[in-house]
């Protein structure tokens, strides 16, 4: 990305196709009892391959002034005591993998966001603090199997030798930051919100949670307190300077999670961001609370994250695990593996699907908790789907059913995750939906989002709305603050006073000096998004009338567990 926020080069590494020798499927390896991991070596090799592809595209790394990025959330990497020295002494004539994999990691395969093997650890964590709502009040979320705290707890309690051999623990985001710095990086504050370890109000690690998940040594393994996006962590490591030609003055800012990075790219007040990727995720950016506003409520079915760039701000998030991969499963099973056939099937059925409602959980779901498998209903009655088109639930109904049920799940929960209303909160009501992810380019899905959510729907220009773009913007933010010589305000973000009640003052100070992320974006004109669909009011009424039926059927599934 250049200084005017134009994407000048984009290259992709597909784990399964480009680096097949690790045997991943959809970028992961499934084990037993819900365990899902990814080889750390695959991530390291992909970084080398990606940089090589940029090099082949004649990218001049010497002109890069700052580096940041985005990574999948919740995944964790476990470094050994040898890792700091290995990072500090990297030989530019050899690859990262050649030098780091033999002794750098105590756990070669990293647990990732799809993992559901830590149910017992989640229950223990919630019990340690007084229940799921109490944990949500503390951290912004109840305990989830994919969250890093329960993953750490699993290793601490079930594999004590591995835990003892671990010197540092990184999220995937801070792991990549560490590679670029050539030393261990702290964790970015918004990504830290997905660990069940950080106090969501103070943005500091909570001692009770640290003790419950990793005992007395966990704090020392986390490489300091969380830091905000746009913080200058240091200069890029010499391995990158000598191997790829980066400038030794290039700065490194914290990488963040893919969802916070999407907020960084696309959000403004009144926007809902719907990411239609591997999972289906709704994101709403909430400004710091003022004297006349009410902060969002923490619930046991949504998440509250610290905002990556706005001290005191937050992100309300609703994440449903079974998203894009599940849509692909339905396509392959009922639509001959063709998106064209899938789309034709959707169009052949009316809004509401003639009473056919399908719930599809390829992976063990998190909202609602623990459900798995396919569950089909016709007019609120459970049915076994048919093999012929004259069946009550015919094969052609599944394409529309999977889209409608995934979006109705978001719609049915929307009211509970919005910030509470207040007298001056009209600006907080949702005005539009910006969609991202692979499925966002499908006009049929664009219209269905508008109809089911009842919001005008927009997309960003190709590539501009990606999480990777958000990471690039965080790099620019760090560099921009340095160029403005706002030393005091850099100190504010770098050494945030985390005492309760001070975040609003910090936000005010940044606003007064014109050093906010929003100020930076205004200078370049911000992001231009394009309207692609308006709600069809007749269809909107159909879907509004389906919400109670959806909830009733979902409740039947949950009660049958």
pLDDT (tens digit per residue) in 116-128: 999 999 999 999 9
> Is the confidence at residue 419, as pLDDT, over 90?
no
Q: Which two tokens stand for residue 406?
A: 């995934």
The model's pTM? 0.80
Q: How far apart are CA 283 and CA 436, in angstroms?
A: 11
Could you tell me the pLDDT band of residue 513, with boundaries at 50, 70 and 90? low
* Phi and psi torsions of 369, nearest 5°: -70, 130
Could you tell me the pLDDT band of residue 422, with boundaries at 50, 70 and 90? very low
> Is the confidence at residue 14, as pLDDT, over 50?
yes
> Is the confidence at residue 416, as pLDDT, over 80?
no
> Is the confidence at residue 372, as pLDDT, over 80?
yes
Burial class (CB in 10 A: 0-12, 13-18, 19+), 518: middle
Q: What percent of the chain has pLDDT over 90?
A: 73
Q: What percent of the chain has pLDDT over 70?
A: 90
- What is the residue-wise DSSP string for 178-215? HHHHTSPPPPBHHHHTTTT-EETTTTEE-HHHHHHHHG
pLDDT in the model for residue 181: 97
pLDDT (tens digit per residue) in 329-369: 999 999 999 999 999 999 999 999 999 999 999 988 888 88
Q: How far apart are CA 558 and CA 561, in angstroms?
A: 6
pLDDT (tens digit per residue) in 423-445: 333 334 678 999 988 888 899 99
CA dihedral sign, ordered 276, 279, 280, 286? negative
Q: How far apart are CA 353 and CA 553, in angstroms?
A: 15
Candidate from 179-188, 352-361, 403-412, 485-494 with smallest mean pLDDT:
485-494
Candidate from 162-176, 371-385, 423-437 with smallest mean pLDDT:
423-437
* Phi and psi torsions of 270, nearest 5°: 90, 0
Could you tell me the pLDDT band of residue 498, with boundaries at 50, 70 and 90? very low
* Widest Cα–Cα separation across the chain: 71
Could you tell me the pLDDT band of residue 487, with boundaries at 50, 70 and 90? very low
> Is the confidence at residue 179, as pLDDT, over 80?
yes
- What is the residue-wise DSSP string for 67-105? E--EE-SS-EEEE-TTHHHHHHT--TTS-HHHHHTTTSB
Q: How far apart are CA 340 and CA 338, in angstroms?
A: 5
- What is the residue-wise DSSP string for 381-431? EEEPPPSSTTSSS-TTHHHHHHHHHHHHHHHHHHHHHSPPP-TTGGGGS--
Candidate from 185-199, 416-430, 451-465 with smallest mean pLDDT:
416-430
Burial class (CB in 10 A: 0-12, 13-18, 19+), 491: exposed
Question: Residue 319, SS3?
Answer: strand
Q: If you average pLDDT over residues 199-219, what whole number do you get?
A: 96
pLDDT in the model for residue 501: 35
> Is the confidence at residue 296, as pLDDT, over 90?
no
């Amino acid at each position: 990305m250049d200084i005017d926020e134009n994407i000048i080069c984009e290259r992709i590494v597909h784990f399964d196709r480009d680096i097949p020798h690790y045997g991943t499927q959809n970028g992961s390896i499934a084990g037993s009892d819900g365990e899902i991991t990814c080889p750390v070596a695959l991530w390291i090799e992909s970084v080398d391959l990606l940089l090589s592809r940029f090099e082949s595209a004649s990218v001049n790394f010497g002109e890069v002034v700052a580096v940041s990025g985005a990574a999948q959330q919740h995944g964790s990497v476990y470094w050994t005591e040898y890792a700091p020295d290995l990072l500090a002494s990297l030989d530019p004539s050899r690859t990262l993998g050649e030098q780091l994999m033999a002794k750098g990691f105590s756990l070669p395969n990293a647990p990732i966001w799809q993992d559901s093997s830590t149910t017992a650890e989640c229950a223990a964590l919630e019990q340690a603090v007084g229940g799921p709502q109490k944990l949500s009040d503390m951290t912004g979320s109840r305990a989830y199997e994919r969250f890093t705290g329960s993953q750490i707890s699993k290793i601490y309690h079930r594999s004590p030798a591995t835990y003892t051999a671990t010197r540092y623990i990184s999220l995937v985001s801070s792991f990549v930051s560490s590679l670029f710095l050539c030393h261990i990086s702290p964790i970015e504050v918004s990504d830290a919100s997905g660990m069940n370890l950080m106090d969501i109000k103070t943005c500091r690690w909570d001692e009770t949670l640290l003790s419950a998940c990793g005992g007395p040594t966990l704090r020392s393994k986390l490489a300091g307190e969380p830091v905000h996006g746009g913080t200058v962590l240091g200069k890029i490591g010499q391995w990158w300077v000598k191997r790829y030609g980066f400038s030794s003055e290039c700065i490194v800012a914290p990488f963040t999670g893919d969802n916070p990075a999407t907020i960084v790219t696309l959000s403004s007040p009144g926007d809902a961001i719907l990411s239609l990727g591997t999972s289906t995720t709704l994101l709403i950016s909430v400004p710091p609370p003022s004297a006349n506003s009410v902060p969002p409520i923490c619930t046991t079915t949504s998440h509250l994250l610290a905002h990556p760039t706005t001290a005191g701000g937050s992100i309300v998030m609703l994440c449903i695990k079974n998203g894009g991969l599940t849509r692909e499963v339905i396509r392959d099973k009922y639509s001959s593996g063709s998106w064209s056939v899938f789309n034709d099937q959707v169009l052949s059925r009316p809004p509401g699907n003639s009473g056919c409602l399908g719930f599809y959980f390829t992976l063990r779901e998190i909202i609602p908790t623990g459900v798995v498998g396919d569950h089909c209903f016709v007019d609120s009655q459970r049915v076994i789907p048919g093999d012929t088109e004259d069946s009550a639930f015919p094969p052609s109904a599944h394409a529309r059913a999977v889209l409608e049920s995934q979006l109705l799940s978001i719609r049915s929960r929307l009211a509970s995750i919005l910030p509470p209303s207040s007298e001056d909160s009209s600006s907080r009501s949702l005005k539009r939906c910006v969609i991202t992810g692979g499925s966002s380019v499908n006009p049929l899905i664009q219209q269905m989002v508008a109809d089911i959510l009842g919001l005008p729907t927009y997309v960003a220009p190709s590539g501009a709305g990606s999480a990777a773009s958000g990471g690039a913007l965080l790099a620019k933010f760090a560099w921009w603050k340095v160029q403005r010589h706002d030393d005091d305000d850099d100190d504010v973000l770098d050494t945030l006073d985390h005492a309760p009640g001070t975040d609003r003052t910090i936000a005010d100070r940044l606003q007064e000096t014109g050093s906010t992320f929003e100020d930076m974006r205004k200078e370049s004109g911000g992001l231009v998004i394009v309207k692609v669909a308006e709600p069809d009011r007749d269809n909107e009424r159909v879907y509004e009338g389906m919400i109670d039926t959806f909830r009733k059927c979902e409740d039947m599934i949950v009660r049958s567990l």
